[in-house]
A and B are shown apart, each in its own frame.
Chain A
Amino acid sequence: MSTPNSHSELRVENLCMTYHTEDGQDVHALEDINFNMDEGNLVVVVGPSGCGKTTLLSTIAGFLAPTSGRILLNGEEIEKPGAERGVVFQKGALFEWLTVYENSVFGLKMRGVDEAKRHERVMNYLDLVGLTDFVDTPIYNLSGGMQQRVAIVRCLANNPSILLMDEPLGALDALTREKMQTLILKIWKETGKMVFFITHSVEEAIYLATDLFVMSARPGKIMKRYKLDFCHKGLEKDPRELKSDPEFIKIREEVLSLIWSMEEETAAHAG
Protein backbone atom coordinates (compact mmCIF):
# COMPACT_ATOMS: atom_id res chain seq x y z
CA MET A 1 0.00 0.00 0.00
CA SER A 2 1.04 3.58 -0.51
CA THR A 3 2.89 5.55 2.11
CA PRO A 4 2.93 9.35 2.10
CA ASN A 5 5.87 10.67 0.13
CA SER A 6 6.98 13.02 2.86
CA HIS A 7 7.34 12.28 6.54
CA SER A 8 4.20 13.00 8.58
CA GLU A 9 4.10 14.24 12.15
CA LEU A 10 1.63 15.89 14.47
CA ARG A 11 2.64 18.26 17.24
CA VAL A 12 0.21 19.46 19.88
CA GLU A 13 1.67 22.33 21.89
CA ASN A 14 0.25 23.80 25.12
CA LEU A 15 -3.27 23.31 23.93
CA CYS A 16 -5.97 24.92 26.09
CA MET A 17 -9.68 25.11 25.55
CA THR A 18 -11.84 27.22 27.84
CA TYR A 19 -15.38 28.33 27.33
CA HIS A 20 -17.99 30.20 29.32
CA THR A 21 -21.26 28.54 30.15
CA GLU A 22 -24.52 30.45 30.28
CA ASP A 23 -24.48 30.66 34.06
CA GLY A 24 -21.15 32.44 33.96
CA GLN A 25 -18.78 29.59 34.77
CA ASP A 26 -15.53 28.83 33.00
CA VAL A 27 -15.19 25.28 31.78
CA HIS A 28 -11.65 24.09 31.22
CA ALA A 29 -12.34 21.44 28.64
CA LEU A 30 -8.64 21.08 27.83
CA GLU A 31 -5.69 22.29 29.83
CA ASP A 32 -2.11 22.31 28.69
CA ILE A 33 -2.17 19.31 26.38
CA ASN A 34 1.21 18.42 24.88
CA PHE A 35 2.15 15.47 22.73
CA ASN A 36 3.82 14.50 19.48
CA MET A 37 2.84 11.85 16.99
CA ASP A 38 4.95 10.26 14.33
CA GLU A 39 4.31 7.89 11.46
CA GLY A 40 3.41 4.49 12.84
CA ASN A 41 1.95 5.89 16.05
CA LEU A 42 -1.48 4.79 17.11
CA VAL A 43 -2.54 7.10 19.90
CA VAL A 44 -5.59 6.05 21.89
CA VAL A 45 -7.28 8.36 24.38
CA VAL A 46 -9.49 7.06 27.19
CA GLY A 47 -11.02 8.87 30.13
CA PRO A 48 -14.24 9.42 32.06
CA SER A 49 -17.16 11.01 30.24
CA GLY A 50 -16.80 14.73 29.81
CA CYS A 51 -13.00 14.66 29.98
CA GLY A 52 -12.59 16.52 26.71
CA LYS A 53 -11.57 13.62 24.46
CA THR A 54 -13.93 14.67 21.71
CA THR A 55 -12.98 18.34 22.15
CA LEU A 56 -9.35 17.36 21.62
CA LEU A 57 -10.20 15.44 18.47
CA SER A 58 -12.33 18.32 17.20
CA THR A 59 -9.47 20.76 17.54
CA ILE A 60 -7.12 18.45 15.63
CA ALA A 61 -9.78 17.98 12.97
CA GLY A 62 -10.15 21.75 12.76
CA PHE A 63 -13.81 21.95 13.80
CA LEU A 64 -12.91 23.96 16.91
CA ALA A 65 -10.27 26.66 17.37
CA PRO A 66 -8.28 26.31 20.62
CA THR A 67 -8.31 29.10 23.21
CA SER A 68 -4.51 29.00 23.27
CA GLY A 69 -1.69 26.78 22.11
CA ARG A 70 -1.38 25.30 18.64
CA ILE A 71 -1.48 22.13 16.62
CA LEU A 72 0.98 21.56 13.79
CA LEU A 73 0.54 18.90 11.15
CA ASN A 74 3.71 18.45 9.11
CA GLY A 75 4.83 21.89 10.27
CA GLU A 76 1.61 23.68 9.30
CA GLU A 77 -0.78 25.09 11.83
CA ILE A 78 -4.32 23.69 11.75
CA GLU A 79 -7.07 26.27 11.29
CA LYS A 80 -9.94 24.45 9.61
CA PRO A 81 -10.97 20.99 8.41
CA GLY A 82 -8.95 19.51 5.57
CA ALA A 83 -8.53 16.37 3.51
CA GLU A 84 -5.11 15.58 5.03
CA ARG A 85 -6.95 14.72 8.27
CA GLY A 86 -9.55 12.01 7.75
CA VAL A 87 -12.27 11.83 10.41
CA VAL A 88 -14.29 8.72 11.25
CA PHE A 89 -17.36 9.44 13.38
CA GLN A 90 -19.30 7.09 15.62
CA LYS A 91 -22.26 7.03 13.29
CA GLY A 92 -24.56 9.05 11.07
CA ALA A 93 -21.88 10.71 9.00
CA LEU A 94 -22.20 8.61 5.85
CA PHE A 95 -24.39 9.92 3.05
CA GLU A 96 -27.33 7.53 2.97
CA TRP A 97 -28.40 8.67 -0.50
CA LEU A 98 -25.17 7.31 -2.01
CA THR A 99 -23.93 3.76 -2.56
CA VAL A 100 -20.84 2.27 -0.95
CA TYR A 101 -18.71 3.26 -3.94
CA GLU A 102 -20.18 6.75 -4.22
CA ASN A 103 -19.56 7.37 -0.53
CA SER A 104 -16.00 6.10 -0.78
CA VAL A 105 -15.19 8.26 -3.76
CA PHE A 106 -16.85 11.42 -2.38
CA GLY A 107 -13.68 13.17 -1.21
CA LEU A 108 -11.69 12.47 -4.38
CA LYS A 109 -14.60 13.63 -6.51
CA MET A 110 -14.97 16.87 -4.57
CA ARG A 111 -11.26 17.49 -4.93
CA GLY A 112 -11.35 16.95 -8.68
CA VAL A 113 -9.22 13.81 -8.92
CA ASP A 114 -9.74 12.20 -12.33
CA GLU A 115 -12.04 9.25 -12.64
CA ALA A 116 -9.56 6.48 -13.50
CA LYS A 117 -7.33 7.39 -10.61
CA ARG A 118 -10.10 7.63 -8.05
CA HIS A 119 -11.59 4.33 -9.16
CA GLU A 120 -8.26 2.59 -8.73
CA ARG A 121 -7.62 4.06 -5.30
CA VAL A 122 -11.09 3.43 -3.92
CA MET A 123 -11.24 -0.14 -5.22
CA ASN A 124 -7.89 -0.78 -3.58
CA TYR A 125 -9.16 0.26 -0.17
CA LEU A 126 -12.55 -1.41 -0.59
CA ASP A 127 -10.59 -4.58 -1.23
CA LEU A 128 -8.50 -4.01 1.92
CA VAL A 129 -11.64 -3.88 4.10
CA GLY A 130 -13.43 -6.65 2.19
CA LEU A 131 -16.26 -4.66 0.62
CA THR A 132 -15.64 -5.28 -3.07
CA ASP A 133 -18.87 -7.26 -3.37
CA PHE A 134 -20.91 -4.35 -2.06
CA VAL A 135 -19.81 -1.43 -4.24
CA ASP A 136 -23.31 -0.71 -5.55
CA THR A 137 -25.17 -1.38 -2.29
CA PRO A 138 -26.97 1.59 -0.75
CA ILE A 139 -25.52 2.56 2.62
CA TYR A 140 -28.78 1.96 4.49
CA ASN A 141 -28.71 -1.72 3.52
CA LEU A 142 -25.37 -2.30 5.29
CA SER A 143 -24.81 -3.50 8.84
CA GLY A 144 -23.22 -1.12 11.34
CA GLY A 145 -19.80 -2.74 11.01
CA MET A 146 -19.85 -2.50 7.23
CA GLN A 147 -20.93 1.13 7.42
CA GLN A 148 -17.92 1.92 9.58
CA ARG A 149 -15.67 0.18 7.07
CA VAL A 150 -17.03 2.50 4.37
CA ALA A 151 -16.40 5.46 6.66
CA ILE A 152 -12.77 4.39 6.98
CA VAL A 153 -12.36 3.79 3.26
CA ARG A 154 -13.67 7.19 2.27
CA CYS A 155 -11.04 8.79 4.52
CA LEU A 156 -8.20 6.55 3.31
CA ALA A 157 -9.06 7.29 -0.32
CA ASN A 158 -7.89 10.87 0.26
CA ASN A 159 -4.53 9.51 1.40
CA PRO A 160 -4.54 11.60 4.59
CA SER A 161 -1.54 12.04 6.92
CA ILE A 162 -3.61 11.06 9.93
CA LEU A 163 -6.85 9.26 10.70
CA LEU A 164 -8.92 10.75 13.52
CA MET A 165 -11.38 8.27 14.94
CA ASP A 166 -14.07 9.40 17.38
CA GLU A 167 -15.37 6.23 19.07
CA PRO A 168 -15.75 4.56 15.67
CA LEU A 169 -16.74 1.20 17.16
CA GLY A 170 -18.93 2.55 19.95
CA ALA A 171 -22.25 1.70 18.29
CA LEU A 172 -21.37 -1.85 17.27
CA ASP A 173 -22.24 -5.14 18.95
CA ALA A 174 -19.48 -6.86 20.92
CA LEU A 175 -18.54 -9.47 18.33
CA THR A 176 -18.43 -7.06 15.37
CA ARG A 177 -16.46 -4.70 17.54
CA GLU A 178 -13.67 -7.21 18.13
CA LYS A 179 -13.44 -8.04 14.45
CA MET A 180 -13.29 -4.35 13.60
CA GLN A 181 -10.47 -3.81 16.10
CA THR A 182 -8.36 -6.35 14.26
CA LEU A 183 -9.30 -4.72 10.95
CA ILE A 184 -8.18 -1.34 12.24
CA LEU A 185 -4.82 -2.82 13.23
CA LYS A 186 -4.51 -4.32 9.77
CA ILE A 187 -5.28 -1.00 8.08
CA TRP A 188 -2.87 0.82 10.35
CA LYS A 189 -0.09 -1.70 9.61
CA GLU A 190 -0.64 -1.73 5.84
CA THR A 191 -0.98 2.02 5.35
CA GLY A 192 1.49 3.17 8.00
CA LYS A 193 -0.71 6.15 8.80
CA MET A 194 -0.86 7.95 12.12
CA VAL A 195 -4.07 7.08 13.91
CA PHE A 196 -5.65 9.12 16.70
CA PHE A 197 -8.35 7.03 18.33
CA ILE A 198 -10.90 7.82 21.03
CA THR A 199 -12.76 5.11 22.90
CA HIS A 200 -14.70 4.30 26.04
CA SER A 201 -13.45 0.73 26.12
CA VAL A 202 -10.23 0.31 28.05
CA GLU A 203 -9.68 -3.16 26.62
CA GLU A 204 -9.99 -1.80 23.08
CA ALA A 205 -7.59 1.01 23.96
CA ILE A 206 -4.86 -1.33 25.29
CA TYR A 207 -5.27 -3.71 22.39
CA LEU A 208 -4.86 -0.99 19.74
CA ALA A 209 -2.51 1.61 21.19
CA THR A 210 1.18 2.24 20.69
CA ASP A 211 0.60 5.24 22.95
CA LEU A 212 -2.26 5.27 25.46
CA PHE A 213 -3.31 8.54 27.11
CA VAL A 214 -5.59 8.50 30.13
CA MET A 215 -7.34 11.85 30.48
CA SER A 216 -8.94 13.41 33.53
CA ALA A 217 -12.06 15.56 33.47
CA ARG A 218 -12.36 19.31 34.11
CA PRO A 219 -9.72 20.38 33.65
CA GLY A 220 -9.14 17.95 30.79
CA LYS A 221 -5.52 16.89 31.14
CA ILE A 222 -3.44 13.92 30.14
CA MET A 223 -3.06 12.15 33.50
CA LYS A 224 -1.00 9.20 32.48
CA ARG A 225 0.76 7.92 29.37
CA TYR A 226 1.57 4.33 28.52
CA LYS A 227 3.79 2.92 25.79
CA LEU A 228 2.28 -0.37 24.72
CA ASP A 229 3.08 -3.07 22.19
CA PHE A 230 0.08 -5.38 22.17
CA CYS A 231 -0.93 -3.91 18.81
CA HIS A 232 2.22 -5.38 17.23
CA LYS A 233 1.20 -8.87 18.32
CA GLY A 234 -2.45 -8.24 17.58
CA LEU A 235 -2.37 -9.53 14.02
CA GLU A 236 -0.34 -12.67 14.66
CA LYS A 237 -1.84 -13.83 17.91
CA ASP A 238 -5.42 -14.66 18.67
CA PRO A 239 -7.04 -11.44 19.98
CA ARG A 240 -8.91 -13.21 22.79
CA GLU A 241 -5.73 -14.89 23.95
CA LEU A 242 -3.88 -11.60 23.86
CA LYS A 243 -6.60 -9.86 25.84
CA SER A 244 -6.44 -12.49 28.58
CA ASP A 245 -2.65 -12.28 28.84
CA PRO A 246 -1.69 -11.50 32.50
CA GLU A 247 0.29 -8.43 31.45
CA PHE A 248 -2.71 -7.15 29.45
CA ILE A 249 -5.06 -7.71 32.38
CA LYS A 250 -2.72 -5.96 34.79
CA ILE A 251 -2.63 -2.78 32.69
CA ARG A 252 -6.35 -2.98 32.02
CA GLU A 253 -7.18 -3.11 35.73
CA GLU A 254 -4.74 -0.30 36.48
CA VAL A 255 -6.30 2.01 33.87
CA LEU A 256 -9.81 1.04 34.88
CA SER A 257 -9.25 1.82 38.56
CA LEU A 258 -7.68 5.13 37.55
CA ILE A 259 -10.77 6.07 35.55
CA TRP A 260 -13.07 4.75 38.29
CA SER A 261 -11.46 6.90 40.94
CA MET A 262 -11.80 9.96 38.70
CA GLU A 263 -15.46 9.23 38.00
CA GLU A 264 -16.12 8.92 41.73
CA GLU A 265 -14.34 12.17 42.41
CA THR A 266 -16.48 14.00 39.85
CA ALA A 267 -19.61 12.40 41.29
CA ALA A 268 -18.59 13.52 44.81
CA HIS A 269 -18.02 17.07 43.55
CA ALA A 270 -21.33 17.15 41.78
CA GLY A 271 -23.12 15.81 44.86
Chain B
Amino acid sequence: MEAALTKFKNFLGFAAEDDFEKKKTVKFGDPSAAGQGRKWSVLSLIIILTAWVVLCELEIVPPLFWPSPLAVLEKFWTIATEGYRGHTLLGHFLISLYRVMAGFLLGTICGVLLGIAMGLSSVVRGLFDPIIELYRPVPPLAYIPIIIIWMGIGDGGKIMLLFLATFAIMVINARSGVKSVSVEKIHAAYSLGANRWQVLRHVILVNALPEIFTGMRVSMGVCWATLVAAEMVAATAGLGWMVLNAARYLRTDIVIMGVIVMGIVGYGFDMIMRLLEDKLIPWKGKT
Protein backbone atom coordinates (compact mmCIF):
# COMPACT_ATOMS: atom_id res chain seq x y z
CA MET B 1 0.00 0.00 0.00
CA GLU B 2 2.75 2.38 1.06
CA ALA B 3 4.80 1.44 -1.98
CA ALA B 4 1.86 1.89 -4.35
CA LEU B 5 1.20 5.33 -2.92
CA THR B 6 4.81 6.40 -3.41
CA LYS B 7 4.70 5.07 -6.95
CA PHE B 8 1.55 7.07 -7.68
CA LYS B 9 3.11 10.17 -6.17
CA ASN B 10 6.19 9.69 -8.32
CA PHE B 11 4.00 9.28 -11.39
CA LEU B 12 2.26 12.57 -10.67
CA GLY B 13 5.61 14.22 -10.21
CA PHE B 14 5.41 14.81 -6.47
CA ALA B 15 8.42 12.67 -5.64
CA ALA B 16 10.79 13.99 -3.01
CA GLU B 17 13.48 16.12 -4.62
CA ASP B 18 16.76 14.36 -5.22
CA ASP B 19 19.13 15.14 -2.38
CA PHE B 20 22.04 15.61 -4.75
CA GLU B 21 20.02 18.01 -6.90
CA LYS B 22 19.38 20.15 -3.82
CA LYS B 23 23.11 20.68 -3.35
CA LYS B 24 23.63 22.20 -6.77
CA THR B 25 24.21 25.92 -6.52
CA VAL B 26 23.88 26.54 -10.25
CA LYS B 27 20.32 25.65 -11.18
CA PHE B 28 19.35 28.22 -13.75
CA GLY B 29 20.60 26.92 -17.10
CA ASP B 30 21.49 23.41 -15.90
CA PRO B 31 19.25 21.21 -18.06
CA SER B 32 19.15 18.36 -15.54
CA ALA B 33 18.15 20.75 -12.76
CA ALA B 34 15.13 21.89 -14.78
CA GLY B 35 13.55 18.43 -14.37
CA GLN B 36 10.33 17.05 -15.85
CA GLY B 37 7.87 19.43 -14.25
CA ARG B 38 5.21 16.76 -14.23
CA LYS B 39 3.46 18.12 -11.18
CA TRP B 40 2.92 21.34 -13.07
CA SER B 41 1.41 19.36 -15.95
CA VAL B 42 -1.06 17.80 -13.54
CA LEU B 43 -1.85 21.23 -12.18
CA SER B 44 -2.40 22.77 -15.60
CA LEU B 45 -4.74 19.94 -16.64
CA ILE B 46 -6.76 20.43 -13.46
CA ILE B 47 -7.00 24.18 -14.06
CA ILE B 48 -8.12 23.74 -17.65
CA LEU B 49 -10.81 21.20 -16.73
CA THR B 50 -12.05 23.31 -13.83
CA ALA B 51 -12.19 26.43 -15.95
CA TRP B 52 -14.10 24.52 -18.60
CA VAL B 53 -16.69 23.26 -16.11
CA VAL B 54 -17.05 26.63 -14.37
CA LEU B 55 -17.41 28.61 -17.59
CA CYS B 56 -20.15 26.29 -18.83
CA GLU B 57 -22.01 25.95 -15.51
CA LEU B 58 -22.14 29.72 -15.04
CA GLU B 59 -23.24 30.00 -18.69
CA ILE B 60 -20.63 32.63 -19.37
CA VAL B 61 -19.95 31.03 -22.75
CA PRO B 62 -23.02 29.86 -24.69
CA PRO B 63 -22.99 26.08 -25.30
CA LEU B 64 -23.23 26.71 -29.04
CA PHE B 65 -19.66 28.01 -28.95
CA TRP B 66 -18.26 25.84 -26.22
CA PRO B 67 -20.31 22.91 -24.89
CA SER B 68 -19.80 21.52 -21.40
CA PRO B 69 -17.44 18.57 -20.79
CA LEU B 70 -20.42 16.43 -19.91
CA ALA B 71 -22.12 17.20 -23.23
CA VAL B 72 -18.96 16.31 -25.07
CA LEU B 73 -18.63 13.06 -23.16
CA GLU B 74 -22.27 12.28 -23.87
CA LYS B 75 -21.72 12.88 -27.60
CA PHE B 76 -18.73 10.60 -27.47
CA TRP B 77 -20.97 7.85 -26.12
CA THR B 78 -23.84 8.42 -28.59
CA ILE B 79 -21.57 8.49 -31.62
CA ALA B 80 -19.55 5.54 -30.36
CA THR B 81 -22.73 3.46 -30.04
CA GLU B 82 -25.23 4.93 -32.54
CA GLY B 83 -22.86 6.47 -35.05
CA TYR B 84 -22.77 9.63 -37.13
CA ARG B 85 -24.08 9.60 -40.72
CA GLY B 86 -23.70 5.94 -41.41
CA HIS B 87 -20.61 5.05 -39.32
CA THR B 88 -19.90 4.70 -35.63
CA LEU B 89 -16.96 6.57 -34.14
CA LEU B 90 -14.90 3.42 -34.46
CA GLY B 91 -15.99 3.16 -38.08
CA HIS B 92 -14.86 6.69 -38.87
CA PHE B 93 -11.63 6.03 -37.02
CA LEU B 94 -10.97 2.80 -38.90
CA ILE B 95 -11.58 4.48 -42.24
CA SER B 96 -9.05 7.18 -41.32
CA LEU B 97 -6.64 4.58 -39.94
CA TYR B 98 -6.80 2.55 -43.13
CA ARG B 99 -5.88 5.59 -45.23
CA VAL B 100 -3.04 6.56 -42.93
CA MET B 101 -1.59 3.07 -42.72
CA ALA B 102 -1.78 2.42 -46.46
CA GLY B 103 -0.10 5.72 -47.38
CA PHE B 104 2.39 5.48 -44.54
CA LEU B 105 3.49 1.91 -45.27
CA LEU B 106 3.77 2.40 -49.03
CA GLY B 107 5.67 5.65 -48.55
CA THR B 108 7.98 4.08 -45.97
CA ILE B 109 8.86 1.06 -48.10
CA CYS B 110 9.50 3.04 -51.28
CA GLY B 111 11.19 5.93 -49.45
CA VAL B 112 13.58 3.66 -47.54
CA LEU B 113 14.55 1.76 -50.68
CA LEU B 114 15.26 4.93 -52.66
CA GLY B 115 16.98 6.59 -49.69
CA ILE B 116 19.35 3.66 -49.27
CA ALA B 117 20.13 3.61 -52.99
CA MET B 118 20.82 7.36 -52.84
CA GLY B 119 23.07 6.89 -49.84
CA LEU B 120 25.09 4.22 -51.60
CA SER B 121 25.39 5.49 -55.15
CA SER B 122 26.28 8.97 -56.31
CA VAL B 123 24.53 8.27 -59.65
CA VAL B 124 21.20 7.50 -57.99
CA ARG B 125 21.67 10.39 -55.62
CA GLY B 126 22.43 12.81 -58.42
CA LEU B 127 19.47 11.63 -60.50
CA PHE B 128 16.85 11.89 -57.77
CA ASP B 129 18.18 14.78 -55.71
CA PRO B 130 16.56 17.58 -57.77
CA ILE B 131 13.13 15.94 -57.73
CA ILE B 132 13.18 15.22 -54.01
CA GLU B 133 14.57 18.62 -53.07
CA LEU B 134 11.94 20.38 -55.18
CA TYR B 135 8.89 18.55 -53.94
CA ARG B 136 9.96 18.05 -50.32
CA PRO B 137 9.45 21.64 -49.07
CA VAL B 138 5.93 21.84 -50.56
CA PRO B 139 3.31 21.29 -47.84
CA PRO B 140 1.48 18.04 -48.73
CA LEU B 141 -1.88 19.81 -48.61
CA ALA B 142 -0.84 21.85 -51.64
CA TYR B 143 -1.19 18.70 -53.75
CA ILE B 144 -4.83 18.19 -52.84
CA PRO B 145 -6.29 20.11 -55.81
CA ILE B 146 -4.24 18.22 -58.38
CA ILE B 147 -4.81 14.91 -56.65
CA ILE B 148 -8.58 15.48 -56.65
CA ILE B 149 -8.40 16.22 -60.37
CA TRP B 150 -6.44 13.04 -61.00
CA MET B 151 -7.95 10.59 -58.57
CA GLY B 152 -11.25 12.04 -57.33
CA ILE B 153 -12.24 12.12 -53.67
CA GLY B 154 -12.00 8.38 -52.95
CA ASP B 155 -9.47 6.56 -50.79
CA GLY B 156 -6.93 6.41 -53.61
CA GLY B 157 -6.33 10.15 -53.61
CA LYS B 158 -5.81 10.30 -49.87
CA ILE B 159 -3.46 7.36 -49.86
CA MET B 160 -1.52 9.04 -52.68
CA LEU B 161 -1.28 12.23 -50.66
CA LEU B 162 -0.01 10.46 -47.56
CA PHE B 163 2.36 8.43 -49.68
CA LEU B 164 3.91 11.65 -50.98
CA ALA B 165 4.17 13.11 -47.48
CA THR B 166 5.87 9.99 -46.07
CA PHE B 167 8.05 9.29 -49.09
CA ALA B 168 10.07 12.53 -48.95
CA ILE B 169 10.72 12.26 -45.22
CA MET B 170 11.76 8.61 -45.47
CA VAL B 171 14.10 9.22 -48.41
CA ILE B 172 15.93 11.96 -46.53
CA ASN B 173 16.19 9.95 -43.31
CA ALA B 174 17.21 6.66 -44.91
CA ARG B 175 19.83 8.46 -46.96
CA SER B 176 21.36 10.19 -43.98
CA GLY B 177 21.14 6.93 -42.00
CA VAL B 178 23.24 5.19 -44.63
CA LYS B 179 25.69 8.08 -44.64
CA SER B 180 26.03 8.04 -40.86
CA VAL B 181 27.97 4.77 -40.72
CA SER B 182 31.55 5.26 -39.53
CA VAL B 183 34.28 4.25 -41.95
CA GLU B 184 35.86 2.19 -39.13
CA LYS B 185 32.81 -0.07 -39.02
CA ILE B 186 32.93 -0.62 -42.77
CA HIS B 187 36.67 -1.29 -42.71
CA ALA B 188 36.29 -3.60 -39.74
CA ALA B 189 33.57 -5.62 -41.45
CA TYR B 190 35.63 -6.13 -44.61
CA SER B 191 38.69 -7.03 -42.53
CA LEU B 192 36.65 -9.63 -40.69
CA GLY B 193 35.90 -11.29 -44.00
CA ALA B 194 32.49 -9.86 -44.93
CA ASN B 195 31.64 -9.35 -48.60
CA ARG B 196 29.82 -6.35 -50.07
CA TRP B 197 26.36 -7.79 -49.66
CA GLN B 198 27.07 -8.73 -46.04
CA VAL B 199 28.44 -5.27 -45.30
CA LEU B 200 25.25 -3.76 -46.71
CA ARG B 201 22.90 -6.08 -44.85
CA HIS B 202 24.71 -6.48 -41.51
CA VAL B 203 26.38 -3.10 -41.10
CA ILE B 204 24.99 -0.31 -43.29
CA LEU B 205 21.30 -1.20 -42.98
CA VAL B 206 21.31 -1.98 -39.28
CA ASN B 207 23.33 1.14 -38.63
CA ALA B 208 20.70 3.21 -40.48
CA LEU B 209 17.77 1.80 -38.49
CA PRO B 210 17.69 4.50 -35.78
CA GLU B 211 17.43 7.27 -38.36
CA ILE B 212 14.89 5.33 -40.40
CA PHE B 213 12.81 4.96 -37.26
CA THR B 214 13.04 8.66 -36.48
CA GLY B 215 11.76 9.30 -39.98
CA MET B 216 8.86 6.91 -39.41
CA ARG B 217 7.87 8.71 -36.22
CA VAL B 218 7.96 12.09 -37.89
CA SER B 219 6.04 10.96 -40.96
CA MET B 220 3.43 9.20 -38.85
CA GLY B 221 2.69 12.55 -37.22
CA VAL B 222 2.68 14.37 -40.55
CA CYS B 223 0.40 11.69 -42.09
CA TRP B 224 -2.17 12.03 -39.36
CA ALA B 225 -2.23 15.82 -39.56
CA THR B 226 -2.38 15.76 -43.35
CA LEU B 227 -5.10 13.13 -43.47
CA VAL B 228 -7.45 14.99 -41.16
CA ALA B 229 -7.01 18.12 -43.26
CA ALA B 230 -7.49 16.16 -46.48
CA GLU B 231 -10.69 14.60 -45.18
CA MET B 232 -11.99 18.05 -44.41
CA VAL B 233 -11.47 19.09 -48.01
CA ALA B 234 -12.80 16.06 -49.75
CA ALA B 235 -14.29 12.91 -48.26
CA THR B 236 -17.51 11.13 -47.38
CA ALA B 237 -16.36 9.50 -44.14
CA GLY B 238 -13.52 9.56 -41.63
CA LEU B 239 -12.76 11.50 -38.47
CA GLY B 240 -11.81 14.72 -40.29
CA TRP B 241 -14.91 14.60 -42.41
CA MET B 242 -17.08 13.95 -39.36
CA VAL B 243 -15.81 17.11 -37.66
CA LEU B 244 -16.24 19.29 -40.74
CA ASN B 245 -19.71 17.91 -41.44
CA ALA B 246 -20.79 18.48 -37.84
CA ALA B 247 -19.52 22.05 -37.99
CA ARG B 248 -21.81 22.76 -40.95
CA TYR B 249 -24.78 21.99 -38.71
CA LEU B 250 -23.30 23.88 -35.75
CA ARG B 251 -22.94 20.65 -33.75
CA THR B 252 -20.13 22.10 -31.64
CA ASP B 253 -20.22 19.20 -29.18
CA ILE B 254 -19.39 16.75 -31.96
CA VAL B 255 -16.68 19.06 -33.29
CA ILE B 256 -14.96 19.36 -29.91
CA MET B 257 -15.28 15.64 -29.28
CA GLY B 258 -13.81 14.87 -32.72
CA VAL B 259 -10.88 17.21 -32.19
CA ILE B 260 -10.08 15.64 -28.83
CA VAL B 261 -10.26 12.14 -30.33
CA MET B 262 -7.91 13.17 -33.13
CA GLY B 263 -5.47 14.58 -30.60
CA ILE B 264 -5.54 11.44 -28.50
CA VAL B 265 -5.11 9.20 -31.54
CA GLY B 266 -2.15 11.26 -32.77
CA TYR B 267 -0.59 11.08 -29.34
CA GLY B 268 -1.25 7.33 -29.24
CA PHE B 269 0.54 6.84 -32.57
CA ASP B 270 3.58 8.62 -31.23
CA MET B 271 3.52 6.54 -28.03
CA ILE B 272 3.35 3.31 -30.03
CA MET B 273 6.24 4.38 -32.24
CA ARG B 274 8.33 5.26 -29.20
CA LEU B 275 7.57 1.94 -27.58
CA LEU B 276 8.53 0.08 -30.76
CA GLU B 277 11.71 2.12 -30.95
CA ASP B 278 12.72 1.17 -27.40
CA LYS B 279 12.02 -2.49 -28.13
CA LEU B 280 13.57 -2.73 -31.59
CA ILE B 281 16.50 -0.30 -31.39
CA PRO B 282 17.73 -0.38 -27.81
CA TRP B 283 21.18 0.79 -28.88
CA LYS B 284 19.90 4.12 -30.20
CA GLY B 285 21.96 7.05 -28.94
CA LYS B 286 24.37 4.81 -27.06
CA THR B 287 27.47 4.82 -29.17
CB of B134 within 8 Å of the partner chain: no
Specify which chain B residues have a CB less than 8 angstroms from the CB of A50 in the assembled complex: none
A89-B282 Cα distance, complex, nearest whole Å: 24
Q: Is A138 an interface residue (CB 8 A)?
A: yes
Asked if A246 is at the interface of the complex by the 8 Å CB criterion, the answer is no
Convert A88-117 into 0s and 1s, putting 1 for each residue whose CB lies closer than 8 angstroms to a CB of B: 010111111100000000110011000000
Q: When A and B form their complex, what is the total count of cross-chain residue pairs whose Cβ atoms lie within 8 Å?
A: 71
CA separation between A261 and B12, bound complex, in Å? 65
B-binding segment of A76-84, A217-225, A232-240: A76-84
B193, A93: Cβ atoms closer than 8 Å: no
- Is there an interface contact between A110 and B192, defined as CB atoms closer than 8 Å? yes
Q: Would you call B274 an interface residue if the criterion is a C-beta within 8 Å of the partner chain's C-beta atoms?
A: no
Known contacts A93-B187, A140-B286; is-contact A83 B203 (Cβ 8 Å): no
From A157, which residue of chain B is reached at the shortest CB distance?
B192
Are B191 and A61 in touch, CB under 8 angstroms?
yes
Contact partners of A107 in chain B: CB under 8 A: 192-194
Interface residues as binary, A15-32 with B (CB distance below 8 Å gives 1, 0 otherwise): 000000000000000000
Q: A110 to B189: give the CA distance in the assembly, Å.
A: 9
Chain A residue contacts of B283, Cβ below 8 A:
96-97, 138-140
* Residues on the B chain within 8 Å of A87, using CB: 187-188, 191
* Contact A83-B191, Cβ < 8 Å, known A110-B198, A138-B282: yes
Cα A97 to Cα B284 in complex, Å, equals: 9
Q: Of all chain B residues, which has the CB nearest A83?
A: B193
Residues of B within 8 A of A138 (CB): 282-283
Q: Which of B183-208 contact A (CB under 8 A)?
A: 184-185, 187-195, 198, 202-203, 206-207
Are A106's CB and B191's CB within 8 A?
A: no
Counting chain A CB atoms within 10 Å of each CB, the highest count among B185, B188, B194 belongs to B188
- Judging by beta carbons under 8 Å apart, are A81 and B182 in contact? no
Contacts A138-B282, A140-B286, A140-B287 given; does A92 touch B185 at CB 8 Å: yes
| B residues less than 8 Å from A89 (CB atoms) | 184, 187-188
A83 near B192: Cβ-Cβ < 8 Å = yes
Closest A residue to B198 using CB positions:
A110
Asked if A96 and B287 sit within 8 Å, CB to CB, the answer is yes
Interface size of A as a range? 20 to 34
For A140, list chain B residues within 8 Å (CB).
283, 286-287
Mask: chain A, 57-90; 1 = CB below 8 Å from B; 0 = not = 0000111000000000000000011110111010
CB nearest to B184 among chain A residues: A93
A44 to B269 CA separation, bound complex (whole angstroms): 56
User: Which of A93, A94, A140, A155 has the largest count of B CB atoms less than 10 A from its CB?
Assistant: A93
Known contacts A81-B187, A93-B187, A138-B282: A154-B192 contact under CB 8 Å: yes
A107 to B203, CA, bound (A): 12
Taking a contact as CB atoms under 8 Å apart, the answer to whether A86 and B191 are in contact is yes
Q: Which listed residue, A93, A97, A111, touches B188 by the CB 8 Å rule?
A: A93
Our pick among B185, B193, B209 for the contact of A110 (Cβ within 8 Å) is B193
Cβ–Cβ < 8 Å partners of A91 in chain B: 184
- B206 engages A95 (CB within 8 Å): yes
> How far is B189's CA from A87's CA once the two chains are assembled, in angstroms?
10
Nearest chain B residue, comparing its CB with the CB of A140: B286
Once A96-B283, A138-B283 are accepted as A-B contacts, the answer to whether A85 and B191 lie under 8 Å apart by CB is yes
A158 at interface by CB-CB < 8 Å: yes
Cross-chain contact A158 with B193 (CB below 8 angstroms): yes
26 interchain pairs (CB within 8 A)? A61-B191, A63-B187, A80-B190, A82-B191, A83-B192, A86-B192, A87-B187, A89-B187, A92-B184, A92-B287, A93-B182, A93-B188, A94-B188, A95-B203, A96-B287, A97-B206, A106-B192, A106-B202, A110-B195, A110-B198, A111-B193, A138-B282, A138-B283, A154-B192, A155-B191, A158-B193
